[in-house]
Amino acid sequence: MKNILITGATSGIGLEIAHVLEKNNKIFLSGRRKLDKNNYFACDLADISSADELIQKAKEYFNSEIDVLINCAGQYIYKPIEQMTKQEVDYLLNLNFKSAYILSSLVVGGMKKNKWGRIINIGSISGMVGEGRATLYSATKAALSGLTKALALETAQDNITVNQINPGWVKTPLVDSALTEDEKQEVIDVTPQGRFIEPNEIAKLCEYLISDFAKGLTGQNINLCAGLSIGC
């Protein structure tokens, strides 16, 4: 049983990861919603100062170090680059990239001490191939990929693995409500497998990555995207 901290865990991908991993592990969750749970801390990680308190709350709940960190908190903004405000730039950089960097820096010491750890970053296929009108989002996820590879190299001798999952279009309530039926069909038409990724696929991949079966897998970007990364 591992002590697992999952950010962005109140909906969509993060919520499904929590459902899968709570069966055999002890989990602590964070998100922006207010929930009355003893294993939950409400915070907006776009405010980087909340990272220290989140780690403190998680360690108090576990009464131990954090074994696994899953950085799932993130936001998507779709608009032309010239319409992006400075506030949106700061917000997305903080939430999508800086929070994962800071949280990783706060847990890795305990992992090194225990000679075991797993960090999983939830990126996006947009960070791997680029997405027009989502330049900032793509850039933040590409930065996360760089963090993944560099930190994996830095911690390789300490039995710590760092990997990134890059989903394509995922079937979540948010995506379902954001797209029209025509737009959903367009996604299906340009995706080689002709379908959306299910959140459970990402959660089960996380389950594998934190297992000892994946101890040789580190510094990798895994494109779980139904073939989007290879063309259409």
With a pLDDT cut of 70, the percent of the chain lying above it is 100
Q: What are phi and psi of 220, to 5 degrees?
A: -105, 145
pLDDT at 179 over 90: no
Mean pLDDT throughout 165-176?
92
Q: 27 pairs with which residues across the strands? A: 4
pLDDT band at 175 (very low <50, low <70, confident <90, very high): confident
Residue 232 — pLDDT band, cuts 50, 70, 90? low
Given the residues 76, 78, 137, 208, the one annotated as active site: 137
What are the CA-CA distances from residue 132 to residues 76, 99, 136, 139, 170 (Å)? 13, 24, 10, 11, 18
Catalytic residue check, 137: yes
Model confidence at 173: pLDDT above 90: no
How far apart CA 75 and CA 15 sit, in angstroms, is 15
Position 113 pLDDT exceeds 90? yes
By 3-state DSSP, what share of the chain in percent is helix, strand and coil, each rounded to 5?
50, 15, 35
- Report, as an integer, the average pLDDT of 73-97: 96
- Residue 231 confidence class, pLDDT cut points 50, 70, 90: confident
Q: What domains are defined for the chain?
A: 3-225 (3.40.50.720)
